[in-house]
A and B are shown apart, each in its own frame.
Chain A
Amino acid sequence: MRILREFGQFIKMAGGMFHKPENPKMYWKQFMLQCNDIGIGSLGIICIISVFIGAVSTLQTAYQLVSPIIPKSTIAQIVRDTVILEFAPTLSCIVLCGVVGSKIASELGNMRVSEQIDALEIMGINTKGYLVLPKILAGLVTIPLLIMLAMVLGIWGGRLAGTAAGIIDPTIFDTGLAMQFKAYNVYFALIKSVVFSFIITAVPAFYGYNVKGGALEIGHSSTRAVVVSCVLLLLADYILSALLL
Chain B
Amino acid sequence: MIEIKNLKKSFEDKAVLKGVDVVFDDGKCNLIIGSSGSGKTVLMKCMVGLIKPTSGNVLYDGEDFINLNEKEQKAIREKLGMLFQGGALFDSQTVEQNVMFPLDMFTTDKYAKKKERVKQVLDRVQLKEEAYRKFPSEISGGMQKRVALARAIVLNPKYLFCDEPNSGLDPQTSLVIDKLIQEITKEYDITTIINTHDMNSVMEIGDHITYMHQGEKEWEGNNKEIILSENQKLNDFIFASEFLKDAKRMRTIQETGEIPKDMPTGVKDAIEEKLNLDLDGDGHIGQPPGNDPPSKE
Residues of chain A whose beta carbon lies under 8 Å from any beta carbon of chain B: 22-23, 26, 110, 114-116, 118-119, 121-125
How many residues of B sit at the interface, in one of the four size bands?
20 to 34
Top 3 A-B pairs ranked by shortest CB distance? Answer: A124-B77, A115-B88, A119-B88
A122 nearest in chain B by CB position: B82
22 A/B residue pairs, CB under 8 Å, sorted by A: A23-B105, A26-B105, A114-B86, A114-B91, A115-B84, A115-B88, A116-B88, A116-B90, A118-B50, A118-B84, A119-B88, A122-B49, A122-B81, A122-B161, A123-B78, A123-B80, A123-B102, A123-B106, A124-B74, A124-B77, A124-B106, A125-B105
Q: In chain B between 106 and 150, which residues have their CB closer than 8 angstroms to a CB of chain A?
A: 106
Encode B68-88 as 1/0 by CB contact (under 8 A) with A: 000000110110111011101
Bound CA–CA A114/B90 (angstroms): 9
Chain B CB within 10 Å, residue with most, of A22, A23, A26, A122: A122
**Inter-chain contact A115/B105, CB cutoff 8 Å:** no
**Inter-chain contact B78/A124, CB cutoff 8 Å:** yes
Bound CA–CA A118/B87 (angstroms): 11
Q: Which residues of B contact A115 (CB under 8 A)?
A: 84-86, 88
Q: Which residues of B contact A26 (CB under 8 A)?
A: 104-105
**Inter-chain contact A110/B106, CB cutoff 8 Å:** no
Given A122-B48, A122-B81, 12 more contacts at CB 8 Å? A22-B106, A26-B104, A114-B88, A115-B84, A116-B88, A116-B90, A118-B84, A118-B88, A121-B50, A122-B50, A122-B80, A123-B80
**Inter-chain contact B104/A23, CB cutoff 8 Å:** yes
Bound CA–CA A22/B155 (angstroms): 15
CB distance from A18 to the nearest CB of B (A): 13
Q: Which residues of B contact A125 (CB under 8 A)?
A: 105
Q: Which residues of B contact A121 (CB under 8 A)?
A: 49-50, 77
CB distance from B61 to the nearest CB of A (A): 17
Bound CA–CA A124/B91 (angstroms): 20
CB distance from B44 to the nearest CB of A (A): 11
